[in-house]
Amino acid sequence: MDWGMRNRIARFIKPETGRTVMLAVDHGYFLGPTSGLENARETIAPLLPYTDSLMCTRGVLRTSVDPKTPTPVVLRVSGGPSVLKELSNEEITTSMEDALRLNVCGVGMSIFVGAEFEKQTLTNLGKLVSEGEKIGMPVLAITAVGKEMGRDLRFLGLACRIAAEYGAHCVKTYYCEGFDQLVASCPVPVVIAGGKKTPEKEALELAANAVNEGAAGVDMGRNIWQSEWPVAMIQAIRAVVHEKKSVKEAWDLFESLRKATKGKKVKGVAATPDF
Ligand code: 5RP
């Protein structure tokens, strides 16, 4: 692996801990104005100081993120269908030239193993990795799940291993029972998505279970910015991921930060389908 590739990976997986707290705000690329992300700039700005890397589309990056930020970015480069259509029918929608111009530290795309357009998304991944290798740009493969698809070890383990075989440098998936086996059979770092919003303590437990079973961290969205106290929540997640704090310690931190800050008004005008 060349220096540029290794340097970019080190910008989002912190070498001090070997872990990462990525903030996922890419939901709008197929969901539109998701609850909590209606005004992306307002949601993102207070969270950036606590974020190891921001995961977003180029549209949100250009319109809603201050270019003076030191926080590195992993750019979502796949898309195609909206939530109204067959989700697996994705193509690569943002060029590697644009990724370079935007000075990002990685690109991310979804694969849909087991879905109608499985082959298309896997060949997308292979081609993206080949392009990335030429310029030292790491690729994060996201194991998307359709509404009818399972989130168990058999399915997620299959998808993660396939992503690594195609050359993904990092894989994002969901936590499942037997997660340590998934990590053991995936030769690249694995981060977990948070999934739909749950009570804060449950999200902390999810993050703790994942890192204790070998995850390199989280790429979390809704469980942070759909919280009434997103800034407290991301700091509690950091305590679990980077400082190896227990769920109780992280919960106590969350509670103390929460009490010291005003909650935000959660608008909840836009639908967030279960995915
Ligand atoms: C959408 C994504 C999201 O970034 C991912 O699901 C993470 O967000 P959340 O924690 O809200 O699940 O990749 O395809």
Mean pLDDT in residue range 169-180: 98
Which residue has the least CA distance to atom 13 on ligand 1? 142
Mean pLDDT in residue range 8-28: 98
Read off the pTM: 0.95
From the CA of 174, how far away is ligand 1's center (Å)? Answer: 9
Helices (H), 166-267: 179-184, 200-212, 222-225, 230-243, 247-260
From the CA of 193, how far away is ligand 1's center (Å)? Answer: 5
Residue to probe by mutation, ligand 1, list 12, 23, 25, 26, most atoms within 8 Å of CB: 26
- What phi, psi does 263 have (nearest 5°)? -70, 155
- Ligand 1 — pocket residues by CB below 6 A? 24, 26-27, 55, 110, 142, 144, 193-195, 219-223
Query: Are 195 and 221 in contact, with CB atoms under 8 Å apart?
Result: no
From the CA of 144, how far away is ligand 1's center (Å)? Answer: 9
Mean pLDDT in residue range 23-39: 97
Query: What does each C-alpha distance from 1 to 86, 242, 268 come to in angstroms?
Result: 36, 25, 44
Atom of ligand 1 nearest to the CA of 222: 11
Q: Which of 62-66, 130-134, 170-174, 267-271 has the lowest mean pLDDT?
A: 267-271
- CA–CA distance, 78 with 80 (Å, rounded to integer): 7
Q: What percent of the chain has pLDDT over 90?
A: 91
From the CA of 224, how far away is ligand 1's center (Å)? Answer: 11
Mean pLDDT in residue range 114-135: 97
Longest alpha-carbon distance in the chain: 50
Average model confidence (pLDDT) for the chain?
94
Banded pLDDT at 80 (limits 50, 70, 90): very high
Among 3.40.50.20, 2.40.110.10, 3.20.20.70, 3.40.630.40, name the CATH number for the domain at 3-226: 3.20.20.70
Banded pLDDT at 262 (limits 50, 70, 90): confident
Q: Which of 3-17, 134-148, 185-199, 212-226 has the lowest mean pLDDT?
A: 134-148
Which residue has the least CA distance to atom 8 on ligand 1? 221
237: number of Cβ within 10 Å: 28
- CA–CA distance, 176 with 113 (Å, rounded to integer): 16
149 compared with 89, residue with greater pLDDT = 89
Query: Are 142 and 108 in contact, with CB atoms under 8 Å apart?
Result: yes
Name residues whose C-beta falls within 8 Å of residue 217's C-beta, 6 or more positions apart in sequence.
Answer: 13, 19, 20, 21, 22, 52, 191, 192, 211, 241
- pLDDT, tens digit (0-9, with 9 covering 90-100), for 198-240: 999 999 999 999 999 999 999 999 999 999 999 999 999 999 9
**Model confidence at 38: pLDDT above 50:** yes
Name residues whose C-beta falls within 8 Å of residue 129's C-beta, 6 or more positions apart in sequence.
Answer: 139, 166, 167, 168, 169
Give the model's pLDDT for residue 145: 78
- CA–CA distance, 70 with 63 (Å, rounded to integer): 17
Compute the 3-state secondary structure of the chain and give helix, strand, coil in percent, each to the nearest 5. Answer: 45, 15, 45
265 catalytic residue (yes or no): no
